[in-house]
Structure 1
Amino acid sequence: MAFRVDIVSDVVCPWCVIGYLRLERVIDRLSLKEPVEIHWHPFELNPTMPQQGMDLYQHTFEKYAATSDASERSRLSMATLGKELNFFFNFSTSMKIYNTRKAHQLLMWSAQFGLQYSLKMALFRAYFTQSTDVSSIENLREIARTVGLNPEVATQVMQDETWENAVAVTEQQWVEAGINAVPAFIFNQKQVLIGAQTESTLTDVISTINM
């Protein structure tokens, strides 16, 4: 029987990157007897974000009342943590935050092909490392192609209201289940952890559940 991990996250959430990469390290270190199944689920930090996006520093100030200095310190800290996990955060003063609904539509669709992990990591790198607009159909289509998804079908999925509604319904279900911040990790549908946990905490939780 597989060890199941459900992860609720957004592709423009830096702590989701850090949290997942820490989890990946722990799973590799523990060498679990059972195969590990990772299932990614949608959560939009900014579901009403306009399609053209918004300046990240302005957004951070308006949403969290964080000053420029505080935002810069936070990003420097995240960049340092990223380096420790072999992930490059390329924060800049011109960086924008984007609407991620279409990206989540692709992620939901990609699960049936076993390419959800590849797409999720490609989206993380596209946004945080390459400063790519991850709300753009053209950009998302190319990212989908690079991980082995059919770009023509990917475009149809992004333009399909059925997939859009499926993402919205799924997000609402997680909110109703008590998930109101990300990343959220659900282990074997038993234990829930919110936030980018330390490797020590993740090790303790997984080891306890897997006893």
Structure 2
Amino acid sequence: MAWKLRVNQIQLVRSMADSAAGKKLIRVDVSSDTICPWCLVGKRNLDKAIAASTDRFDFEIRWHPFFLNPAAPKEGMNKLQFYKDKFGPQLDGVVARMTEVFRGLGLNYNLSGLTGNTLDSHRLIYYAGKQGSDKQHNLVEELFLGYFTQAKYIGDREFLLECAQKVGLEGAAEFLDDPNNGLQEVMEELNNYSSNINGVPYYVLNGKVKLSGGQPPEAFLRAFDAASN
């Protein structure tokens, strides 16, 4: 009886190993901007879909830059006033919608603080990617949470370094100190991945299946199946 149990255990382990070895890789290239609220929504829903699919697929996620407002000042500007100027009388409806969507994710949408140029955040995201896609993915989460829920300024060096420390990113201060570090690479990624798109978030799965916007988890699940074929 013990021998049979041992055999069954070995067979189960082998079956699990075979299943793991047979999992297909889904590479997700995401174009986004760190001041895009729908990019946070899309990331959270992508994460949910991935969590529901790890028994079938392995995942590699890479984040690429997009600039919603490339002329935004580096010193920042009042976020609420910027959106008032942008949306005018429609602002109340926009804020109500985003507040509702964020609440559905367990988050508080915060329009306090500053908005502005996102170049340094994209340089840092690029740098994190050099230390691993998981570290990059986690950094993007911290940047989103700080900016959208804690009124942190996306162009503030101390905030960027705080996020880097949270995800264990090494050498971030030295990297950011030179404004040329990562600049060429960010511009190249912008041209390679984002030059032909009009808005973010934008997803390309295994180079062939494309999605845009803050898609629900179910849309990502269907896209995983399509990308794996």
Q: TM-score, normalised on structure 1?
A: 0.86
Equivalent in the alignment of 1:154? 172
Shift of 1:64: 4.0
Instruction: Show the 5 A alignment for 1:119-138.
Output: 119-138=139-158
Output the CA distance in 2 between the equivalents of 1:200 and 1:144: 31
Question: How far apart are residue 91 of structure 1 and its match?
Answer: 1.2
Q: State the Cα distance separating 1:162 from its structure 2 match.
A: 4.1
Stretches of structure 2 lacking an aligned partner (at least 5 in a row): 1-23
- Which residue does 1:174 correspond to in 2? 193
1:109 to partner: Cα distance: 0.8
Q: How many aligned residue pairs are there?
A: 203
2:93 is aligned to: 70
Identity rate of aligned residues, in percent? 29
Q: Give secondary structure in 2 for the equivalent of 1:67.
A: helix
In 2, are the aligned partners of 1:54 and 1:98 still within 8 Å (CA)? yes
Distance 2:75 2:147 in 1: 15
What SS class does the counterpart of residue 89 from structure 1 fall into? coil
Asked if the contact 2:41–2:102 (Cα under 8 Å) also holds between the matched residues in 1, the reply is no
Q: Indicate whether 1:57 and 2:80 are aligned.
A: yes
Q: Tell me which residue corresponds to 1:205.
A: 223
Distance 2:213 2:117 in 1: 21
Residues 162/72 of structure 1: CA separation in 2 closer, same or farther (3 Å cut): closer
Deviation, 1:56, is 2.3
Contact kept, 8 Å, 1:78 with 1:89, in 2: the verdict is no
> 2:49, 2:217 within 8 Å by CA — same for their partners in 1?
yes
Distance in 1 (CA, whole Å) between partners of 2:87 and 2:211 is 22
On the 8 A contact 2:26/2:227 being kept in 1, the answer is: no
Q: Deviations over 1:16-59 (max 9, x none)?
A: 11111111111222335331111111112122111222222322
Q: Distance in 1 between matches of 2:28 and 2:169?
A: 24
The answer to whether the 8 Å contact 1:57/1:71 transfers is no
Separation of aligned partners in 2, 1:168 and 1:71: 31
Q: Flag the 1:30–1:138 CA change in 2: closer, same or farther, 3 A.
A: closer
TM-aligned CA distance change 1:102 to 1:89, over 3 Å: same
Residue 41, structure 1, aligned to residue 64, structure 2? yes
Taking only aligned residues, the RMSD between alpha carbons, in angstroms, comes to: 2.0
Amino acid at match of 1:53: G
Q: Which residue of 2 aligns with 1:2?
A: 25
Question: Helix, strand or coil: the match of 2:211?
Answer: strand
Structure 2 CA distance for aligned equivalents of residues 184 and 66 of structure 1 = 28
Distance verdict in 2 for CA 1:175–1:28, change over 3 Å: closer
Show structure 1 runs of 5+ residues with no match: none
